[in-house]
Amino acid sequence: MRTIRQSQKLRGVRYDVRGPILVEAQRLEAEGHRILKLNIGNTAPFGFDAPEAIQTAVTQSLPEAQGYSDSRGIYEARTAVAQYYQSRGLRDTMVDDVFIGNGVSELISMVLQAFVDDGNEILVPAPDYPLWTGAVTLTGGTPVHYVCDESNGWMPDLEDIESKITENTHALVIINPNNPTGAVYSKEMVEALVDIARRHDLVVLADEIYEKILYDDAVHHHAATAAGSDVLCLTFSGLSKAYRVCGYRAGWVMISGPKETATEFLEGLTLLANMRMCANVPAQHAIQTALGGYQSIDELIVPGGRFHEQTMLADKLLNEIPGVSSVRPRGALYCFPRLDPEVYRIDDDQQFVIDLLRSKKILVTHGTGFNWTAPDHFRLVTLPDVEVLEEAIGRIGEFLATRR
Ligand SMILES: Cc1ncc(COP(=O)(O)O)c(C=O)c1O
């Protein structure tokens, strides 16, 4: 019998957030162990219910949501997204500038497929949300990682970006607020990043899915605002995180800047949208209600709110473990602590995470899974309530004590 192999295209594509370690966790679960999964930003298992109005918008739509929709998305959803950006100062955003997808994930792949050719280089942050690196690789492009500087609050290193630009560089990915670091970029930083794109004629791909999950005095600045009318900017966002409906799969991409220079690319994007018919239609009906209604996310991110309390507590407890330092997250739902190599000798951080899983039944993700080169970080999701987090980080501390 012929051995069926995976395609060559998949060589080098990794997505470790749900990779081999999850398989080991599933094996342990099958043996009867209870595993605390702090590896993915999935809100539902941690008791976050979607706002009722959003659920109702979906259930009410079911009778009329049986057919395919316009492949770019239903008109009401695209209008709501366009109006959202208008209200954020991007007044020229029009309904035709918006494509709705099955989450940001699908749109990242579609957009990259529509304009990346073999050998094109795409600047991606390190650490990154690894879908970006994987999706660039899958399209035949080359992800080129630029460093975010931990000693500077995980801000992108602008000189490093400049030094990595070649004649093949096509686009600059900005993830703000950042997963996994929780960094939120200042207006000046966003402007400086976009200015690099402007000077080198790069497309800006701005992943802003955590734009509403901000702590304390953090403020989110859209890359599209800095990009203005002369830099092509694709802004990705959606309902998964701020509206706690990642399972619905509702996201969008908004195109701004000199669209007249991108007609052919946009035709390609439309072709890809047509080829996959449309995004899940019932979920599209949630978008207008979500964006227009009461923003219950605001209660979760202020002091006393669950996202705020949990993230700050996780940051504090991690920093209390000897040899562990974590830059306080300013947004998103993660901590990305560093294990001082002088204190912990880790050669293979994936093995380290597997050992932690087997010993303490806690699943986190190793730092190299986020394209961070040194095996000295891991990412922890801050979604469990404070008691569970205390217990989990306590167990991580116990495990680390055996490794010092
Ligand atoms: C930075 C970032 N972008 C995109 C996504 C994917 O979002 P969606 O659920 O809309 O596909 C995630 C999910 O964790 C993320 O962290």
Mutate which of 99, 104, 110 for ligand 1? The one with the most ligand atoms within 8 Å of its CB, which is 104
Could you read off the pLDDT of 342-388 as tens digits, one per residue?
A: 999 999 999 999 999 999 999 999 999 999 999 999 999 999 999 99
Could you tell which of 176, 179, 336 is best to mutate to test the pocket of ligand 1, judged by most ligand atoms within 8 Å of the CB?
Answer: 179
- Predicted confidence at residue 20, as pLDDT, reads 81
Run of H or E including 165: none
- Pair (37, 139) in one structural domain: no
How many other CB atoms are there within 10 angstroms of residue 139's CB atom? 20
User: Which of 376-394 are b and which e, b meaning 16 or more Cβ less than 10 Å from the residue's Cβ?
Assistant: bbbbbbbbbeeeebeebbe
Residue finishing a domain among 233, 268, 292: 292
Atom of ligand 1 nearest to the CA of 250: 10
In sequence order, the 6+-apart residues with CB closer than 8 A to the CB of 59 are none
Q: What is the 3-state secondary structure (H, E, C) of 178-236?
A: CCCCCCCCCHHHHHHHHHHHHHHCCEEEEECCCCCCECCCCCCCCHHHHHCCCCCEEEE
Give tens-digit pLDDT for 253-289.
Answer: 999 999 999 999 999 999 999 999 999 999 999 999 9
Residue 229 in domain: yes
The closest-lying atom of ligand 1 relative to the alpha carbon of residue 238 is: 10
Q: Please state the atom number of ligand 1 nearest to the C-alpha of residue 210.
A: 1
Q: Which atom of ligand 1 is nearest to the CA of 129?
A: 1
Instruction: Identify whether residues 238 and 261 lie together within a single domain.
Output: yes
**Number of domains into which the chain is organized:** 2
Lowest mean pLDDT among 40-44, 155-159, 175-179, 335-339: 40-44
Q: Is there a single domain that holds both residue 217 and residue 342?
A: no
CB distance 191 to 222 below 8 Å = no
Based on the fold, state whether residues 184 and 229 are members of the same structural domain.
yes
Distance from residue 404's CA to the centre of ligand 1 (Å)? 34
Atom of ligand 1 nearest to the CA of 105: 11
Q: Which of 128, 131, 175, 284 to mutate to test the pocket of ligand 1 (most atoms within 8 A of CB)?
A: 131
Closest CA to 209 of 170, 254, 272: 254
Q: What is the pLDDT of residues 219-239, one digit of tens each?
A: 999 999 999 999 999 999 999
Verify that 41 and 100 share a domain, yes or no.
Answer: no
Judge if 105 and 236 occupy the same domain.
yes
Q: What is the pTM of this model?
A: 0.96
How do residues 328-342 score in pLDDT, each as one tens digit? 999 999 999 999 999
Last residue in a domain, options 292, 323, 352: 292
Ligand 1 atom closest to residue 246's alpha carbon, by position in its atom list: 9
Instruction: For residue range 97-109, list pLDDT tens digits in order.
Output: 999 999 999 999 9
Pocket of ligand 1 (CB under 6 A): 41, 103-105, 129, 175, 179, 207, 209, 238, 240, 246, 251
Task: Give the separation between CA 290 and CA 294, rounded to whole angstroms.
Answer: 8
330 and 361 share one domain: yes
Check which CATH number belongs to the domain holding 153 and give it. Answer: 3.40.640.10
Q: Give the pLDDT score at 11.
A: 85
Shared domain for 44 and 56, answered yes or no, is: no
In this structure, is residue 3 part of a structural domain?
Answer: no
Query: What is the pLDDT confidence band of residue 200, given thresholds at 50, 70 and 90?
Result: very high
Beta-bridge mates of residue 124: 145
Which residues span the domain enclosing 269? 52-292
- Cβ atoms of 167 and 146 closer than 8 Å: no
The minimum-distance atom of ligand 1 relative to the CA of 41 is 14
What's the CA-to-centroid distance between 172 and ligand 1, angstroms? 17
Residue type, 27: R
Q: Is the residue at 249 inside a domain?
A: yes
For range 35-55, the mean pLDDT? 91
Tell me which residue of 395, 343, 389, 334 sits closest to 365, measured CA to CA. Answer: 334
Residue nearest to atom 16 of ligand 1 (CA): 179
Judged against a pLDDT cut of 90, whether residue 243 lies above it is answered with: yes
**Residue 14 and residue 77 share a domain:** no
Domain check: are 176 and 303 in the same one?
no
Residue that terminates a domain, selected from 274, 292, 310: 292
105 Cα: distance to centroid of ligand 1 (angstroms):
6
Specify if 346 maps to a domain.
Answer: yes
Whether residue 396 lies inside any domain: the answer is: yes
My answer on whether 33 and 160 are in the same domain is no
∠ CA 223-301-251, rounded to 5°: 50
pLDDT at 71 over 80: yes
**Residue 1 resides in a domain:** no
For a ligand 1 pocket test, name from 129, 248, 252, 383 the mutation site with the most ligand atoms within 8 angstroms of its C-beta. Answer: 129
| 284 plus 304 within the same structural domain | no
Q: What's the confidence (pLDDT) of residue 404?
A: 87
Structural domain contains residue 318: yes
Phi/psi region, residue 42 (left: phi>0; alpha: psi -120 to 50; beta: rest), is: beta
Residue to substitute in 99, 105, 237, 365 for testing ligand 1 pocket (most ligand atoms within 8 angstroms of CB): 105
The CATH number assigned to the domain holding 24 equals 3.90.1150.10
CA atoms within 13 A on the CB side of 168: 13
Q: Which helix (H) or strand (E) holds 66?
A: none
* Sheet of strand 334-335, all strands in order from the earlier edge strand to the far edge: 334-335, 378-381, 365-366
pLDDT of 301:
97
- Centroid of chain to Cα 111: 15
Q: What pLDDT does 13 receive?
A: 86
Would you say residue 113 lies in a domain? yes
**3-class secondary structure, 380:** strand
Alpha-helical runs (H) found in 241-385 = 263-275, 281-292, 297-301, 306-320, 349-360
Examine the pLDDT at 16 and tell me if it is beyond 80: no
